[in-house]
Amino acid sequence: MGVLVALGGGLLLFGDPSGGPGAGVGEAKGGGRPEVSTSPSSVTATGAPSASPTPTGPPQLVGKVLKEAREIADGAGYGVVTHDASDRDDGQWDADGWKVCFQAAGGQRGGGRPVLDLGVVRVEAPCPGADGEEIPWPSMPGVAGADLFGAEEMLEAVGVRKVRPESVYTDVTLPADPSAWRVCFQEPAPGRRIENPQYATAYLKLAPPDAACPDAPYARSKPEPTS
């Protein structure tokens, strides 16, 4: 009876498988080189499953987009739960659309993995002063009296980038470059809260640099001719 011995990833056959006396040690049946079995079923590879990272301290995630924050936390050995950090209770379905404002320990999961509780808001929103407070959207600045160039700078400072200028006088046409014209009226009104200013539009009524502002928009600079 032959004996199989594991050697270097294969199997060596010692003795004659038929039990005959003529077979030498380490020789294949009928003489020649030893037989080496390379059958996958004859060699079993064993490997330990990769272990989860051992937490060394919570990563700082405030200011990061939620998708990135989750990846960083997972790599550091932490789980993540999230909640709306404003006074609303919106669900965080799109991880790319939220950013982290607040971070706190959230206990442990069933498997013993520590959890971070992240307070998040939409990426375009400013963070509230404290977790659960109202989002501090900016207020509309007062731009009346400024020329259009200066008004646009003040509006851009609060995130309003869409400006629609019009002549305040119905009988005066706005030039191709009205940057030196003066703002007489504006909408939204000064002090009004602007939610999502990147989508807001400021409507400005302008007068020529050498003309006074009328009492109300859509006035005439000159009286209508009488017949």
| Assigned domain for 80 exists | yes
Cis bond upstream, residue 188 (ω within 30): yes
**Locus of tokens 């859509």:** 218
Query: Do 147 and 195 sit in the same domain of this protein?
Result: yes
| Assigned domain for 176 exists | yes
Query: Do 169 and 115 sit in the same domain of this protein?
Result: no
Maximal C-alpha separation, the chain? 138
CB 207 within 8 A of CB 213: yes
Residue 14 has pLDDT above 90, yes or no: no
Sequence length of the chain is: 227
pLDDT of residue 55: 63
Least Cα distance to 206 among 225, 224, 227, 187 occurs for: 187
Residue, of 168 and 109, whose pLDDT is higher: 168
For the chain, strand residue ranges (E) read 3-7, 10-14, 79-84, 98-108, 114-122, 162-167, 182-187, 201-207
Query: Cα–chain-centroid distance for residue 129?
Result: 21
Which residues have C-beta within 8 Å of that of residue 135, sequence separation ≥ 6? 86, 87, 121, 125, 126, 127, 128, 195
How many domains in the chain? 2
Listed range (44-53, 81-90, 132-141, 150-159) with the worst mean pLDDT? 44-53
Mean pLDDT of the chain: 83
CB 104 within 8 A of CB 120: no
pLDDT of residue 104: 96
Query: Do 143 and 195 sit in the same domain of this protein?
Result: yes
Query: Do 144 and 102 sit in the same domain of this protein?
Result: no
Query: Do 118 and 148 sit in the same domain of this protein?
Result: no
pLDDT of residue 50: 54
pTM tops 0.95, yes or no: no
Residue 27 has pLDDT above 60, yes or no: no
**Mean pLDDT within 30-36:** 42
Domain with 160 in it:
139-207
Taking the CA atoms of residue 215, residue 217, residue 221 and residue 224 in that order, the dihedral angle to the nearest 10 degrees is -100
CB 63 within 8 A of CB 81: no
pLDDT in tens, 41-71: 434 444 555 556 666 789 999 999 999 999 9
pLDDT in tens, 169-210: 999 999 999 999 999 999 999 999 999 999 999 999 999 999
pLDDT in tens, 96-135: 999 999 999 988 776 688 999 999 999 999 999 999 999 9
pLDDT of residue 113: 87
Helix intervals (H) in the chain: 66-75, 148-157
